[in-house]
Amino acid sequence: MNSKTTLEAHSLALSHKFRPRQCSKLWRSPPKNWKQDLADALHQGMESHVPRFYFRADDIGAGGQPFETLCALFREHRIPLAMAVVPAWLSDSRCRQLFQVAPLDETLWNWHQHGWRHVDWQRTGNKSEFCDGRPYEKQFKDISQGKKKLTSIFGDHLLHVFTPPWNRLSPATIKVVQALQFKGISMMGPFPRGVKTGNDLKNLRIQVDLHSRRGGDGEEDFRLLCQELSSWTGRREPVGIMIHHQRMNDFAFRFLHELLHLLKHQVGARFLSFREILEKDEDA
């Protein structure tokens, strides 16, 4: 497969200029020789073992050009994508939009729950929907309501995985998720200290954030991103990469296409799905 296949072959990408309202400085201007820099970083990170990767797309709730292009990319490369769906954002019309692009019976898509309303309840500090200040009962109501709605829409296609908005949660959230019999949580970082999860709840950790980065210098942040990818490619644990398609401009889509191509055809990476991780007792 030619590395130009997806984005240059799809009129979808060529006919639409992506101008997101929020976009990290990293993506606003392509660095000179960015493709070679990315290839060099991945090559430097290669070890004797086969690296494993999985991808998670957050804030799923409607269709549109960025969502269509994202799905076209992963379909072209035949790489699974975990879809973190915000339950309260779904309506009948929005479900039709999603399923026209990513049909339920297409096994690439791993639909799972992304909070309830994606609302910030944290009064001070970092944003969080399920923060320490929210009692167990309120968290249980929100998460159970979201799970019920998604189950009614996705049925057996819904994975019992919970991704907390902003990748933050409290010990009470862990207890709620366990009570509701989720099998996994996907977040950046480990579970909160002192929380006992046993072997029944897996952490499908995210190590690399592509699109909600806050670096003030785009060129320097690109260098840091390549450094992160190089470092994680050399490790034996599976590497989780987080995507926010609403924050992606043209360069961000082209970078993602190149990353997928290089990982698949030069690094020889293995791509995991959330479903496979849950079913096969992978060390995630």
pLDDT for 155 equals 97
Band of the pLDDT at 14, cuts 50, 70, 90? very low
Band of the pLDDT at 16, cuts 50, 70, 90? low
Tokens of 45: 């990170």
Q: Is the pLDDT of residue 12 over 60?
A: no
How large is the average pLDDT for residues 133-160?
Answer: 97
Separation of alpha carbons 169 and 180, rounded Å:
16
Total-model pTM: 0.92
| Domain boundaries 5-12+48-280, CATH class | alpha beta
Bridge partners for 240 per DSSP:
54
pLDDT for 200 equals 83
Q: Is the pLDDT of residue 5 over 70?
A: no
Q: What is the CA angle 185-226-166, rounded to 5? A: 30
Count of helices and strands (H, E) across the chain: 10, 9
Which tens digit of pLDDT belongs to each residue from 230-275? 999 999 899 999 999 999 999 999 999 999 999 999 999 999 999 9
Which tens digit of pLDDT belongs to each residue from 59-68? 999 999 999 9
Show me where the domains of the chain are located. Answer: 5-12+48-280
